[in-house]
Amino acid sequence: MADVEMTKAASDDDWVKIVSEDGYSFLVQRKVANASETMQDMLDTSGNYSEAVSRTCPVQQRGVIVEKLLEYMSFKSYYANAGPKDDIPVGELMDRIPPEIVLELLLAADYQNM
């Protein structure tokens, strides 16, 4: 009997793989990946995207860009639950963006809706 392969339920502790177009792959926790709405949708197990099944999300960007994206995502998810009294070092992230890639990053960030 052929069972329909069910997508395993996602949990926040899952790790997902993000793959850049030039072959770099990054393993991040699901909650980090969910900082990007696009990625969240892609990896959503309720949908039947192949990405969800394989828990791999390819991004059409260079490895450098993907790395920066993920850096931002982890920053954002880290401070997501910060209380109202905590200071978020917003300027720190800005320093970490080199101007050489900023336009590409802008494009990618816009695509990822983050």
Partner 1 sequence: MALPDDRVPTLVQYCQRVAAIHVEAISSFGDELRYDLVKPILQRCTVDQLLRLEQASPHLQKDTPEIWKELCFRTYPTAAERYHRGEIPEPESWKDQYFNLVEEEARRFEEVGLKIRRQRQEADERKKEQEIKITNQIPQGKRRWGVSAPPKTLFQKTKSEASKMQKNMYTKPLFPPMPSNGRNFRVLPADKAVLLPPHSGETSSRVTVNTVVHRVSAFGPVNSKSSSPMKSSPNSALSVTSLAPSPSPVLLSPRKPNTVSLTPSPSKSTSSSLSFTGPSSVITTLGQDAAQSPPKKRRLTSPEHSSPGSDPRPSRSLKRDPMASLFLPKHRAYSQRIS
Q: Which residues bind partner 1 (CB under 8 A)?
A: 12, 31, 34-35, 69, 72, 75-77, 79-82, 88, 90, 93-94, 97, 99, 102-103, 105-107, 109-110, 112, 114
Task: Report in angstroms how near the CB of residue 75 gets to partner 1 at its nearest.
Answer: 7
CB of 3 to partner 1, least distance (A): 30
**Among 76, 63, 43, which residue's Cα sits nearest to residue 104?**
63
Task: Give the DSSP letter string of 53-64.
Answer: HHTEEE-SS-HH
Helices (H), 1-114: 30-33, 37-43, 50-54, 63-78, 90-95, 102-111
Q: Select 53 or 97, whichever has its Cβ closest to partner 1.
A: 97
CB of 100 to partner 1, least distance (A): 8
Query: What are the tokens at 20?
Result: 């850049």
